[in-house]
Each structure stands twice: as structure tokens, then as C-alpha cells.
Amino acid sequence: MVWVQLISYLSIVVAAAAVIAKILKYATAPEHFRWELYPVPHEKGRSEYGGSYLEELDWWSKPRHSDIFNELKEMMLEIFFLKGVFHNNKRVWTSSFPFHFGLYLCIGWLVLLLLGGILNLSGVAVSGTTGVIGVIIFYLTSVFGYAGLILAGLGAFGLLIWRLADRNQRPYNSPAEYFNLILIDLVVIVALIAQLLDDPGFSIMRGYTASLITFSQIPASGFWIAAEIILISFLTMYIPLTRMSHFVAKYFLYHAVRWNDEPNMRGSMIEKKLLLSLRKKVGWSAPHIQTGKSWGEVVQETENE
């Protein structure tokens, strides 16, 4: 199982590097064009009716008050319940919600396996009969594992059928969209077979995660468990390299574009970023814009017309 462990280590490194690279890419991008759409959830006392601090006379001279709790509430509704998808496309939501929620449960399952492995290493038995903590972790692992795999698999299958059957959606599908959903269903099927046949209580998987912590070797565990670990490892490093890791882009979309109502004050960081962008050269041409000029020159010419 040493080579299987090496694949798991590689998947963790690749996934972490890919996520960090995407975060840095979006965080260092030029200033975004903001939507200027309301309501903004952190507008204290105004988000209910779509107001903003711009309603105030001489707003720039008055302190702004944010409602962090309401913003966090909106974030949780979007992250865990896909509020936007529910309101805009309930047909997609019926598959997308169990798919995403199942993935969240699977992440929790992996965390519980890791926690269970640490408890075993520290001398606390994780089983259905020994000790309160051990029993809780044992049953939570089973619930999160099986429920997460089943929901993610059903959701991925539903999304695949939707992409195949919906004529309006079909032109926007790429081969990668089909491959990704089929891959996830394959991982789910193999994982369920491996767990139900060889490791219904997740003890082997718990021991495997413990071996990753201690860098120790474990005995061979059979074809299905090895296949499950390899596929999960591959999926772990594959997702951050594809559009399936849109959670990074979505964070910046909401906080840097959709909900960003920070005013552009004299000497602010926003002003510095905009001035830097205006120095960039135009990389395309049109009847009203010529290549080679800076965006600052283009803006100046537009104002003089």
C-alpha cells in the first residue's frame, strides 16, 4: 500500500497548490467592475428593502455601518442550500442541491476519518460499543460517509441527465462537463462497493488516514479499498484543476464584485488599483479604440468628445 499512500500525499500537495494558486490569481487581479446591484446583505438596516449608504446626504462624511451577521447568513444560505439556484432554476436545484450537500458530507466524512485515526493513535477506541467519544465518531462517520456518497452520486447522475436532456442547456455543455459527472459517479460507486463489501464500519479507512499522519505502512487491504483510495485521491487533486473548484471564484465574485460597495475615496487602495489599470495598454482594436494606447488615454479621449 506504500504506492497508494504516495498517490494520496501527491493529491494533497497538488490540491493545496492549485487552490492557493487560484486564490492568488483572483486576489491579485485588477480591480473589478462592480455590479452596483442592491440589496447588499451587509448594509445594516437597509438590506431588507435594497437601500444603501448612498441615500444619506453627504454620505462620504458619515461613518458606515455593516451587518456582518446578515452577510454571514446570506453566505451560509448560498453555500449550503444554493439559494440563488433555488430561486432561478428549481429544476437544476433538485439535483444540484443533493450533489453539493453530498460533497459537503463527504468532506465531513474525510475529516471524521482523520479525527478517528488520531483518536485511535492516542489510545481512544473508535467503535460502536466503546466509549462515548468513540461511539459518536463511529456513527457520525457512517452517517456522513454513506449519506454523502449516496447524495453526491444521485445529484451527479441527475445533473448528467439534465445536461443530456435539456435542449436549451446542451449547446453550453463541453465534454469535460460530462466527464466530470461520470467520474464522480464512478468514484461513488467504487467507494460504496468497497465500504459495503470490505469495510462497512470504516475501520480500514480510519487506519489508512492514521497511517498518512504517522507515515507508517499498513497491510494490503484488497482491490476495492485500494481502488477507492486511488480514485478519491485522483478526484481530490483533479477538482481544483478544473472549473469544479468554482468555490474560489464564487467567493471573489460575491465579495469583490456583487457585494463590494466600498467607496472610491481619494488616496484609497481602490483608487491606486484603478490608476494602475489605466496605465495598461489596450490589447485590442475597434473603430473607437486603437491598440497601443493606454486606457487612461482612451478615457481622456472619450471625455473630450
Residues 197-207 have pLDDT tens digits of 999 999 999 99
- pLDDT per position as a tens digit, 111-163: 999 999 999 999 999 998 888 999 999 999 999 999 999 999 999 999 999 99
Calpha distance 80→91 (Å, rounded): 17
| Domain contains 157 | yes
Q: Write down the pLDDT at residue 287.
A: 76
Q: Do 94 and 233 belong together in one domain?
A: yes
Calpha distance 175→137 (Å, rounded): 40
Residue with cell 443533493: 98
Burial 195-227 (b: 16+ CB within 10 A, else e): beeebebbebbbbbbbbeeeeeebeebeebbbb
3-state DSSP assignment of residue 45: coil
Q: What is the pLDDT averaged over residues 248-263?
A: 87
| Domain contains 47 | no
Q: Do 147 and 198 belong together in one domain?
A: yes
Q: Write down the pLDDT at residue 305.
A: 60
| Domain contains 200 | yes
3-state DSSP assignment of residue 289: strand
- Total number of domains constituting the chain: 2
**Can you list the alpha helix ranges (DSSP code H) found in 82-202?**
83-88, 90-121, 132-165, 175-198
pTM for this model (two decimals): 0.87
Determine the longest span between alpha carbons in the chain, in angstroms.
81
Q: What is the pLDDT averaged over residues 277-303?
A: 79
Q: Do 296 and 156 belong together in one domain?
A: no
Residue 298's domain spans which residues?
269-304
| Domain contains 293 | yes
Q: Write down the pLDDT at residue 304.
A: 60
The CATH number of the domain where 238 resides is what? 1.20.950.20
Q: Do 228 and 287 belong together in one domain?
A: no
Q: Do 241 and 99 belong together in one domain?
A: yes
Percent of the chain at pLDDT exceeding 90? 58
Q: Do 156 and 279 belong together in one domain?
A: no
| Domain contains 50 | no
Q: Do 175 and 298 belong together in one domain?
A: no
Asked if 205 and 221 count as a contact pair (C-beta separation under 8 A), the reply is no
Q: Do 192 and 278 belong together in one domain?
A: no
Asked if 263 and 60 count as a contact pair (C-beta separation under 8 A), the reply is yes
Q: Do 233 and 283 belong together in one domain?
A: no
